[in-house]
Amino acid sequence: MQKRFVAIWFRYLITDWMIIRHPELNGVPMVFAAPDHGRMLVTSANLFAINEGVHIGMPVADAKAIITALKVFNDKPGRDASLLKALGEWCIRYTPIIAVDMPDGLILDVSGCTHLWGGERAYLKEIITRFKSQGYYVRAAMADTVGAAWAVSRYGSVTPLIDKGAHAAALLALPPAALRLDETNVQRLQKLGLHSIKSFIDMPRSVLRRRFGEGVLIRLGQALGTEDEVINPIHIIPPYQERLPCLEAIRTVTGIEIAIQKLLAALCLRLQAEGKGLRTAILKGYRVDGRVEQVQIGTNTATYNTSHLFKLFELKIAHIEPALGIELFVMEAAKVEDVSPMQEALWAGKPGVDDLAVAELLDKIAGKVGAETIHRYLPDEHYWPERSLKKAASLNEKPAIDWRNDKPRPTQLLAQPQPIDVTAPVPDYPPMVFIYQGKRHYVRKADGPERIEREWWLDDGQHRDYYNVEDQDGQRYWVFRSGHYSGSGDDQWFIHGFFA
């Protein structure tokens, strides 16, 4: 197979990244700088700063003298490498072999991939368009060698798509720097009047070696394809995914069930071996007509229990429409967590939410009525009632503090207190009668007040005086007066909760 490579150049990598995060900086001259021998030197600059005369390696003081409104940000070591790695991982959709080309590029081995996008021109256009839509200024080129693609992406001006076998001709008009030579050799070539590759490409190799060293010959050979060049691809952690191609298209419920069981068995075996458990799983069925059917399940606690997971998927099978048939099933564990080894002895089981049976029951209920209808709450470090609890992220999340039990609290707390009409005798006395949702409640028993001060560091407002009251029907409520008793008859009372 003919080798083909794509070189992508992010000319303003770091500054583009900053503008994507802060769109208000678009159009503003800015640079990143790092300390060097007691001075701050420019490490990267955007287009607007470069157009005003700022360049890489310039002292920040000189750059500010040129542009008084220049925005300066501190650079961090390794930021460009981590950003390029992330961009390379994103490019996995285009090819499995991607290498970081420091300090501002990527190298893609696209051999055998371009036909999936309708040809090389459409493939290259797709990559450039996607990056530009994200906010990155990029140049890219495709050629038979890494060196030729790199050269054309940075110095080419005719076409970024070099036909097969035409890479040598594409290099001729480019400057020596296009061969990725060190600065010393570039200056030597220019002093000798060799301003383009064609002016020395046909020179005897012995002359080039004697004048400029072995490095020039190696780079020239790599660009021409006479020297091998090995790229170090990004190692992307394989996803927790299993695939099941079908010899014949699957159209029946039984066939779908068998596919799910096989995929779960393989996926859970891998998870168990790595001490992981599944929290979210996605099943995709690729139909013959090109459409994709997809269902998803979630669990309250990480698990690799195949039978339990199959029962959750079983509830979703009715939503899968095979139509003419499904030819490929793909199952992916979108979210996994560590699983602690469980005791096998029957007497070692833990009650409550730590019981695996409870977790599996909640998973089944969530599969039928929706996960958003099931909530678990934990205490939070606040005195203000609305903030004193929070939703748990998972079934096995542990509380940071203990539930407060020194004061009675209602079983059901309203998200927002509801206003009520109250008749109260004197200050600091509980109400005798209150009206809530059109119904009159006569208070028979009451306890309080309990004053809860507002958390002044979070918001402003008055304190609350809470009372536990019981009406004529034996129902108990948590009510409060906002602020001090005014005596004017316009005191504000609210109901905030219900006791069991």
SS3 462: coil
* Residue 387 domain flag: no
pLDDT (mean) for 53-78: 94
The percentage of residues in the chain with a pLDDT greater than 70, rounded to a whole number, is: 94
pLDDT at site 347? 33
Q: Omega into 385 within 30° of 0, i.e. cis?
A: no
Q: Are residues 140 and 43 in the same domain?
A: yes
Which letter does DSSP use for residue 139 in this model?
E
Domain range for 66 is: 1-237
On the question of pLDDT at 345 being above 80, the answer is: no
Would residue 406 count as lying in a domain? no
- Domain end, chosen from 338, 364, 389, is at 338
- Look over the chain and give the mean of its residue pLDDT values, rounded to a whole number: 88
pLDDT reading at 349 higher than 60: no
Whether residue 337 has pLDDT greater than 80? yes
If 0-12 CB within 10 Å is exposed, 13-18 middle and 19+ buried, where does residue 9 land? buried
* Residue 403: closest CA among 378, 382, 385: 378
Residues 280 and 333 in one domain: yes
Q: What are phi and psi of 354, to 5 degrees?
A: -80, -10
Tell me the sheet residues that pair with 293. Answer: 285
**3-class DSSP state of 273:** helix
Q: What is the pLDDT of residues 242-292, one digit of tens each?
A: 989 888 899 999 999 999 999 999 999 999 888 888 999 999 998 888 788
Asked if residue 141 and residue 36 are part of one domain, the reply reads yes
In tens, the pLDDT along 314-328 reads 989 999 999 889 999
Q: What integer is the mean pLDDT of 221-243?
A: 87
Tokens 């009409």 found at:
421
How do the residues of the chain divide into helix, strand and coil, expressed in percent and rounded to 5? 35, 30, 35
CATH number at residue 301: 3.30.1490.100
Same domain? For 246 and 226 the reply is no
Cα–Cα separations (whole angstroms), residue 192 to 79, 137, 188, 197, 342: 38, 34, 6, 13, 75
303, with CB counted inside 10 A (0-12, 13-18, 19+), is buried
What are the tens digits of pLDDT across the range 373-421?
777 788 888 878 888 888 777 766 777 777 777 788 888 888 889 999 9
pLDDT exceeds 50 at position 238 = yes
User: Are residues 264 and 150 part of one domain?
Assistant: no
Q: Which amino acid is at 406?
A: D
Q: For the chain, count helices (H), then strands (E).
A: 13, 19
Q: Please, which pLDDT band fits residue 434 given cuts at 50, 70 and 90?
A: very high
CA dihedral 480, 486, 487, 493 (to 10 degrees): -20
| 429 and 489 housed in the same domain | yes
Number of domains in the chain: 3
Same domain, 43 and 162: yes
Are 229 and 266 in a shared domain? Answer: no
Single out the residue of 106, 100, 155, 151 nearest to residue 128, CA to CA.
Answer: 106
pLDDT greater than 60 at residue 227 = yes
Instruction: Name the band, by pLDDT with cuts 50, 70 and 90, for residue 341.
Output: low
* In a shared domain, residues 69 and 123: yes
- The per-residue DSSP string of 17-75 comes to HHHHH-GGGTTS-EEEEEEETTEEEEEEE-HHHHHTT--TT-BHHHHHHH-TT-EEEE-
Residue 14 falls within a domain, yes or no? Answer: yes
Q: Give CA–CA dist 500/498, Å, rounded.
A: 7
Quote the tokens at residue 119: 């040809």
- Strands of 292-303's sheet in order across: 241-250, 326-338, 276-287, 292-303
pLDDT per residue as tens digits for the range 103-156: 999 999 999 999 988 999 999 999 999 999 999 999 999 999 999 999 999 999
pLDDT tens-place string over residues 289-318: 878 899 999 988 888 889 899 999 998 999
- Look at residue 344 and tell me whether its pLDDT is greater than 70: no
Q: What are the residues facing 420 on neighbouring strands?
A: 493
Q: Are 87 and 104 in contact (CB under 8 A)?
A: no
pLDDT at res. 353: 56
